[in-house]
Amino acid sequence: MLRRVVSVPAAFFSPSRAERCRSAAVGAAWLLVLGQGLVAAVSAQSVPGSPSPSPSHATVQAPAVLPAALEHNGRLRPEERVELQHELNRCAKSLEAQAAVVRTVAKLIGPAVVHVEADVPPESSLEYGRGRQVEEAGSGVIIQRKADFYVLTNRHVIRDAKPSAIKIGLADGRLIHPTKVLEDTESDVAVLAVSAPDLVPASLGDSDRLEIGDFVLAVGSPFGLSHSVTYGIISAKGRRDLKLSEKLPFQDFLQTDAAINPGNSGGPLVNLRGEVIGINTAIASNSGGNEGIGFAIPINMFMVFARQLIDTGKVTRAFLGVRLDGGYDQSVAAKLGLPRPMGALVSGITPNSPAEGARLQKDDVILEFNHQPVEDDAHLTNLVSLTEVGKRVTLLVFRSRRPISVTVAVGERSKFMP
């Protein structure tokens, strides 16, 4: 199963031939359809001086005049065919060297990717309007923590299923059941403890180092087709306002155009070093299938919750104790003395909270949390929730038209909220 984003417009971008040729020139040609890339390379060198197609068009117009030898199939002289074959070989060699990166990454990550099926109990499926046993399917990836092995996946894939009702298909064809199921409803994180001989764990990358435009691969079981590999780029970061079928208060999604479909949920998003940098979770789609907009939980965020589940069996979140103003806009920012809306505007303080103890006030604007610039309300919520309970952090606060520094020790959210 894959979460579908509601009320998020889907879009599809098809690059022009000129853009694909430029990508090939800087070493990204392996991400293109091989045949198209080769034709573009041959045409560019066989027809010198031919005009480049406009990058605003997705289709390429044929050159006005072709060399006589290329006007009709079969009219090449033997020596011309030999020359073209040599040229083709030179172009192919360059593209094949780049394509080898994708093949290597797929071979490296493949043994760590699993297919997950779960029989969701009727009482759990009632909240989804079904009221009967439902079989969910998705993907997952094996990791190792200390001496133990775990499968990372999405909570909505295994939703309240018992270990005996969850089947994990390994890359070598074996079927196993988890020994323990750990899940967090507010982040859509699930961790399955597993034990079997010769398990192959994946390496984890650093999702904080990702940049828009970085190449990535998505691996999983779309429509039950296990170990399918697609490629694309990081299209955007910090997507925090997705309207999902299940409410997730903690969102900070990576956006990618790597093809993600139902069944990819829980599978890894991988960088070109073969490291997991995200867990595929949702798509924006009008059709229910891939339309070029997929979302993954950054692995750094995922592991904050996963490590707590593994170590303590539950997720404990930090709490600051501020209410935030959702109507914070340009006019409000101007009245406060700011050039534009930035940070998060405090509209109230929870009694006896860490914020009250630090003497935060209504109309304070929190610009930085623990030396990280605050982008908006949802970003501040994430930064607080990912902080270790009890940790002392520094806030940069804009108050009375000047910035001040405030130190606060965050509390435990469960002590302040039900």
Instruction: Give the helix ranges, DSSP H, for 194-327.
Output: 299-312
The residues near 227 (Cβ < 8 Å, ≥ 6 apart) are: 110, 113, 171, 219, 220, 221
Structure confidence at residue 21 (pLDDT): 37
Q: What is the DSSP string of 369-401?
A: ETTEE--SHHHHHHHHHTSPTT-EEEEEEEETT
Q: Which residue of the set 207, 228, 265, 285 is catalytic?
A: 265
Residue 315 token pair: 């997720």
Structure confidence at residue 290 (pLDDT): 66
Q: Which residue of the set 115, 139, 156, 377 is catalytic?
A: 156
Q: Give the integer Cα–Cα distance in Å for 142 and 146.
A: 13
3-state secondary structure of 103: helix
Query: Which among 297, 74, 95, 77 is positioned nearest to 191, based on CA atoms?
Result: 297
Handedness of CA 274, 312, 167, 137 (dihedral sign): negative
Structure confidence at residue 20 (pLDDT): 36
Integer Rg of the chain from CA: 26
Q: Give the integer Cα–Cα distance in Å for 169 and 140.
A: 10
**What are the structural domains of the chain?**
207-306 (2.40.10.10), 318-415 (2.30.42.10)
Residue 15 token pair: 């690059």
Structure confidence at residue 121 (pLDDT): 73
pTM: 0.73
Known active-site residue 265: yes
Q: Which residue has the tokens 């043994």?
A: 111
Q: Give the integer Cα–Cα distance in Å for 267 and 278.
A: 8
Residue 380 token pair: 């501040």
Q: How many CB atoms lie within 10 A of CB 10?
A: 14
The residues near 71 (Cβ < 8 Å, ≥ 6 apart) are: none
Q: Which residue of the set 188, 257, 376, 377 is catalytic?
A: 188
Whether 116 contacts 162, CB under 8 Å: no
Structure confidence at residue 223 (pLDDT): 86
Q: How many CB atoms lie within 10 A of CB 106?
A: 17
pLDDT per residue of the chain (418 residues) written in tens, 0 to 9: 555 554 333 332 333 333 433 343 444 434 343 344 433 433 444 444 444 444 444 444 544 454 554 555 567 788 888 999 999 999 998 888 888 999 999 999 999 999 999 997 765 544 433 444 456 789 999 999 999 999 999 999 999 899 999 999 999 999 999 999 999 988 899 999 999 999 999 999 999 999 999 999 999 988 888 889 999 999 999 888 777 666 777 788 999 999 888 889 999 999 999 999 999 998 877 766 667 789 999 999 999 999 999 999 999 999 999 999 999 999 999 999 999 999 999 999 999 999 999 999 999 999 999 999 999 999 999 999 899 999 999 999 999 999 999 999 999 988 887 6
Known active-site residue 347: no
